[in-house]
Structure 1
Amino acid sequence: MSLGSATTPVTPGAVAVLANPSAGRGRHGGLLPAVRELLTAAGRPVCLLSAATAADAVAVCRRAVAAGASALVTVGGDGTVHAALQALATTGVPLGPVPAGTGNDFALATGFPADPTAAAAAIADAIRAGRTQGVDLARVSVADTPDRWYGAVLAAGFDAIVNERANRMRWPSGPRRYDLAILVELARLRPRRYRIVLDGEPHHLDAVLVAVGNCASYGGGMRICPAADPADGLLDVVVAGPVGRATLIRIKPQVYRGTHVGHPQVRSFRARQIIIEAAGVVGYADGERLGPLPLTVTAVPDALRLLR
């Protein structure tokens, strides 16, 4: 996650910009100059942040907030936004997400244009007018790690298991690694025993897929939690029960339309706080690794300001 240049020193009141030129497989690699021009025209100095890793991205965003940045703009996908959220949550410093990644679920769910240039222009207009809007975030607590924030969806079932396998694989490269991981995990598919506590009420169930949504979609438009609203102070939980490979394959395409929730083996819940326990599962949120279950997810209303 590098801009290809050194970080520009952040001055008080400046707009900090974190860009990931490899997001979206590099198809928006030339976008940054246009974004910078639009933001500069809004009347604020612009400072560029550079980071080589996801951990570096979180650190530079936190330093920018501590140095007095008036806003943070991300140019990338949900992973880039995820890094920014760790620095911005509950600070009041607003975020402007320019959707330039493979998955832009948070930006689109919170009302930003899908076209990155149009989104940058809308963000610049909000900066010029001093306009922000509050939105909820989810805070995740995992044992022995600092709390993390996410904006879109947490996966704690089949999709998370696929991510974990793909991240361990060294071959093949690129998207084929994920495709192979799906095939391997489909062959190994089995229901797992979950204990899910919803606002203090425990549920014991067998499932192959568990998702907790602050927003409706993940993975570039898969509406896994179709009723989720990032402004209602609640989290949506969708659980696919003990289905087999054939049923899971049939259900998966329905996720893009959000119609999978009508399947008799899919259950939906809504809560402010969720505890998820299961053996052998690592949680992922916004596509980023959180850590092994158990974990606790809490909805935090108005945790983030958006440049809208």
Structure 2
Amino acid sequence: MPNWFIIANPAAGGGLVKKLWPSIEAELYKLSIDFVSNFTIGPGHAITMVQEALSIGYRHIIAIGGDGTNHEVINGLMLQNIVPATEVQYGLLPVGTGNDWIRTYGIPANWREWLPQLFTSSSRLQDLGMASYWTNGQQSQRYFTNVAGLCYDAFVVKTMNDNQVSAQNRFVYLWWILRCLFRFQPLACKITFNGQSIQEFCYTINIGICKFSGGGMQFVPQAIPDDGLLGLTIAGKIPKWDVILSTPRFYAGTIGGHRKVTLHQAKSIVVESAANEKVYLEADGEFLGECPAEFTILENAIRVIVPS
């Protein structure tokens, strides 16, 4: 049996994975990598693929795609009970739109540069977040490996989903961020963490394992992927003009310097609507559902391949 099980999402990066696959496959053969590859056929398929691969003995898995593919594979690892997730070596070959998760580890965005290193680099343990929330009147759970967003962040993701828009590149996403800004109003939320509760109108709430999201923005610059804590950023009622002027802060990681923004860390967080309004939730760029939502940390939950 080949050593490596490769899960490729042909739709990732606006179809870029499908276009690049012949070149990636040729490079794998050139590197003498012993592998078997499979393509996903739709949302959620990567989760099933991981479980099937582990059930027949694979313990080395590579995903080819973006943050959404990464999100599904991580959930596949955590939802199975065949083998502890930490006994599986997992790596991501980034061919996506945002490629935010890789930024924390300095993984090259150029697949040709990272591919030869991927099979020789070391691995490390990373924490995961668990989100419990509501969807279609039922309580659900999902693991996330990067950043969860509520209020404005989730509003953008949901609006794009409702309009069947795929973020084929960074500029498409930025356009929808700007377009949604003038339709969104801050929501009254109650956030409970570290034995305290904060109630205020929120522009956005971000909960992070890692610090980058939205194509390189740092809404949770205090997040560390293996410290056993969730990073929590609460942005209050900020005028729209101030949001636009503060954009450089998002990329520089200095959002905590804004007078309406506070940075925290916690092991568990609960977010509820403080009014008769729906507060939506997304995680790793995937729309999940709505509040009330609880977020908890799972320490050293997965083993990821990163540059040595």
Q: TM-score range by the shorter chain?
A: 0.7 to 0.9
The correspondence for 2:10, drawn from 18, 21, 34, is 21
Contact 1:141 1:147 in 2 (8 A): yes
Could you tell me which residue of structure 1 aligns to residue 126 of structure 2?
Answer: 135
Q: How far, CA to CA, are the matches of 2:143 and 2:91 in structure 1?
A: 17
Report the more deviating stretch, 226-235 or 169-178: 169-178
Q: Which residue of 1 aligns with 2:154?
A: 160
- The TM-score with structure 2 as length reference comes to 0.85
- Shifted more, 143-152 versus 256-265: the winner is 143-152
The residue type paired with residue 137 of structure 1 is: L
Separation (CA, whole Å) in 2 of partners of 1:26 and 1:71: 25
Is 1:235 matched with 2:235? no
* Cα offset, 1:123, TM superposition: 1.4
1:69-218 aligned at under 5 Å gives the runs 69-89=58-78, 91-92=85-86, 93-126=88-121, 131-143=122-134, 144-170=138-164, 181-218=176-213
Provide the C-alpha distance between the structure 2 equivalents of 1:220 and 1:239, rounded to a whole number of angstroms.
20
In structure 2, the residue matched to 1:284 is 282
- CA RMSD across the alignment: 2.6
Kindly state the Cα deviation for residue 172 of structure 1 after the two structures are TM-superposed. 10
Change (3 A) 1:284 1:249: same
The Cα shift of 1:269 comes to 0.8
Distance change in 2, residues 1:114/1:171 (3 Å): closer
Which sections of structure 2, spanning at least 5 residues, go unmatched?
A: 79-83
Aligned match of 1:296: 294
Confirm or deny: 8 A CA contact 1:50 1:60 kept in the other structure.
no
Amino acid of the structure 2 residue aligned with 1:139:
M
- 2:35 aligns to what? 46
Question: 1:275 Cα deviation (Å)?
Answer: 1.0
Q: Which amino acid aligns with 1:59?
A: T
Structure 1 position 40, deviation (Å): 5.9
User: Which whole-Å CA distance do the structure 1 matches of 2:41 and 2:92 have between them?
Assistant: 19
Give identity over the alignment, percent: 29
Letter of the aligned partner of 2:124 in structure 1? Answer: Q
TM superposition score normalised by structure 1? 0.85
**C-alpha deviation, 1:239, in angstroms:** 1.3
Whole-Å separation in 2 of the counterparts to 1:183 and 1:239:
20
Q: Which of 221, 228, 233 pairs up with 1:226? A: 221
Which whole-Å CA distance do the structure 1 matches of 2:167 and 2:127 have between them? 35
**Secondary structure at the counterpart of residue 246 of structure 2:** helix
In structure 1, runs of 5+ residues without a counterpart are 1-10
- Residue 222 of structure 1 and its aligned partner are, at CA, apart by 0.8
